Amino acid sequence: MGRGKIEIKRIENTTNRQVTYTKRKNGIIKKAKEISVLCDAKVSVVIFANNGKMHGYHTSSSSVPDILEQYQTISGKRIWDAKHENLKNEIDRIKKENDDMRIELRHLKGEDVGSLPHPDLMRLEDALETGLVSVRNKKKEIRDMYERNTMKLEEENNRLNFILHKQEMKEYPYEHQSLNYRVQPMQPNLQDHHIM
């Protein structure tokens, strides 16, 4: 018994649609691998599921951008429109900015400064001095805050000790009561008595 033909239309049942997608996606990728190995062909397959998940395959000898570039060259069709060109230009600009910042960071660390001209060295010195002042101010601010917090904690500790002491006095008054002794003379004071 052979398989009957199925009508090619959207599968309404979500589960059946997902199962069919998985099987057919795997089949397409398998066929792409086979043709690339058997025929030494450059192949690139990109599949997006309806949930946005991407699956793909490309031959190990080339990347997807290489294959797309070759497609553009041979077909004469431009895949990238102006929007993509702008994005590429923006990426290139950000990469250059990143490289410049890495160089500047090395200069701030004192590395690779031998080739800098005098005006650049002056600007670097000014930037370092400004940074140093900022760091010192922040350090002082943190130290002052630490001292204020230490004083507050000491005051709070003294207050709690005082409250604890008062509480102990209420609970155990006899333990904290100071005893007052009167000293009695062993012999009566002769000056106080009149002899008769």
Q: How many CB atoms lie within 10 A of CB 44?
A: 19
Q: How far is CA 91 from CA 84, 144, 189, in A?
A: 10, 45, 110
Q: How far is CA 96 from CA 91, 92, 101, 106, 146, in A?
A: 9, 6, 9, 15, 42
- What DSSP string describes 108-140? HTT-S-TT--HHHHHHHHHHHHHHHHHHHHHHH
Place of tokens 């797309």: 68
Closest CA to 108 of 116, 40, 194: 116
Whole-angstrom distance, CA of residue 157 vs CA of residue 150: 10
H or E element in which residue 58 lies: strand 54-58
Sign of the torsion angle spanned by Cα atoms 108, 113, 118, 119:
negative
pTM: 0.39
Residue pair 71/79 in contact (Cβ under 8 Å)? The answer is yes
pLDDT in tens, the chain (196 residues): 566 777 788 888 989 999 999 999 999 999 999 999 999 999 999 899 888 898 888 888 888 888 888 888 888 877 766 667 788 888 999 999 999 899 888 888 888 888 888 888 888 889 889 989 999 999 999 999 999 999 999 999 999 999 998 888 888 766 655 555 555 556 555 555 555 4
